[in-house]
Structure 1
Amino acid sequence: MLAPEHIHPSLWRATQLARSATRGVATGYAALSAQLPGGGWPAGALIELLLPHAGIGEIRLLQPALAQLDRDHPIALVQPPHMPHVACWQGWRLNPSQLLWVAPERPMDALWAAEQILKHGSCGALLCWLPRVRVESLRRLHLAAQAAETLCFVMRPATAAQQASPAPLRLALSPAPGGLSVQILKRRGPAVAQPLLLVFESSDHASVDRHPSTQPALRRDAPSLVS
């Protein structure tokens, strides 16, 4: 019998992980990578991380993948809820000079900026915080991501788990001792019944600075500067 992926690359059996044409970006966590098509984070696709609140360790989860990116390619942070803490990024062996902090005045500007970043294709990764977003806007982001090789992560509230989404990969994150509990809500493959427990190397989970202090300057751009 002809395998589904031989008919079309976007087809797969419901009982097995889809085969990816390209190798995913290693997550740094063997248990998680084993559950993802392509063995890692898919580039050129919308990835949703659903959080009870910001700062639970979502950047720590992404740190191993971000550390693999070409240092000539910026890491765009669009509408983060707090000022990125440079010292934390340095402690996670990430180069703060790669950070491109986009602080739009209006939510609609965040979507526009994210879409332009993906279309431009110059960033290695896009991290975008969207507290409220329509499915039509997510579809536009996913289409833009498919035309690029950028890692595209969208952080949304945990309550969005019940809403429809075009993202091929959706993970619900919650705090756990020493790391995160990760429930795979959606992937190209069979359902995952049990959450994964991912343990960080250290207990420092801070991804943003809730109390801004003296720190090296970040590159901060308005959406109009992203083209």
Structure 2
Amino acid sequence: MARSDPITAPEALHPSLWFASQLARSTTRCIDTGYAALSAQLPGGGWPTGSLVELLLQQSGIGEMRLLHPALAELKRPIVLLQPPQVPQALGLSALGVQPAQLIWVRNTGRTADGQWAAEQALRSGCCGAVLLWDRHVRGESLRRLHLAAQSSDTLFCMMRPIQEAQDASPAPLRLAVRGAVGGVRIEFIKRRGPQRDEPLFLPLTPSTLLRHASVDRPAPAPAPARGILPAVVG
């Protein structure tokens, strides 16, 4: 019987190839999520940098900051919050391990294009550790432009969008739907470089006492206007 040739590993042919039955190897640096169960389900074992990551939320403020805070706490460079649904609170962020001095808060001007413009400038500056953008209305061409801007940096770029957008196409290589659950959140893997996972992943998120009382204990930092974001980041 003739001996069959060994199967060549797909990543040996090109780093963007992988078997459908396995998670892809990340071609960029990844940041540990801080949750072992979640990291084990992501290519590269963490949040990918230099690409668009979509968190599709059942509702804003459902726990996205608690989900991201272990990764954010590891960053030393500025963290840009663009159009968050609630006023960032210094004490609550400190309780999560995120230093308020790192934060640049850009308020919602009412113009969707302003937040997207600010995100693109922050990403292309290459000075940010993370850029977080909350946006309810974004077109496909805008998503592609933002993904390209993210690829020009090693920044963690997460875009928070309504969960209803999960049915629409997106260039983001990683798309997670986040729904509320008792004691935490349920994460559905809408898109990842790897096998399809039909069963949601439950992730416990327990707020601290400091976080629950943060809104009344400490005033928020002053916001920055969207069109002034780039000088604030690079200066």
Fold match, TM over 0.5? Answer: yes
Matches within 5 A, 1:11-26: 11-26=17-32
Task: Give the TM-score, by structure 1 length.
Answer: 0.91
Within 2, Cα distance between the matches of 1:206 and 1:45?
30
The correspondence for 1:190, drawn from 191, 195, 200, is 195
Paired residue for 2:118? Answer: 113
1:224 paired residue number:
227
Query: What residue ranges of structure 2 are gaps of 5+ in the alignment?
Result: 1-6, 231-235
Deviation per CA, 1:168-215: give whole Å up to 9, x if none.
0000001112111111110001101111111124367979x8xx7573
Separation in structure 1 between the aligned mates of residue 210 and residue 187 of structure 2, nearest angstrom = 15
CA RMSD of aligned residues (A): 1.9
Whole-Å separation in 2 of the counterparts to 1:125 and 1:89: 15
Structure 1 residue 79 corresponds to structure 2 residue 83: yes
The aligned runs of 1:170-209 (5 Å cut-off) are 170-202=175-207
Matched, 1:10 2:16: yes
- For 2:105 and 2:207, the matched residues in 1 are separated by 25
Counterparts of 1:180 and 1:30, CA distance in 2: 15
**Distance between the aligned counterparts of 1:133 and 1:53, measured in 2?**
17
Q: 1:43 to 1:22 in 2, by over 3 A?
A: same
Are 2:125 and 1:147 equivalent residues in the alignment?
A: no
Identity %: 54
* 1:5 Cα deviation from its structure 2 partner: 1.1
Aligned AA for 1:20?
A: S
Greater C-alpha Rg: 2
State which of 47, 55, 67 in structure 1 corresponds to 2:61. Answer: 55
Structure 1 residue 121: deviation in Å? 1.1
What is the CA–CA distance in structure 2 between the aligned matches of 1:28 and 1:122, rounded to whole Å? 23
Alignment of 1:64-75 (within 5 A): 64-70=70-76, 73-75=77-79
The structure in which a higher percent of residues are helix is 2
Change in 2 beyond 3 A, CA 1:214/1:140:
same
Aligned length: 222
Alpha-carbon spacing, 1:161–1:104, altered in 2? closer, same or farther (3 Å):
same
Q: Secondary structure at the match of 1:48?
A: strand
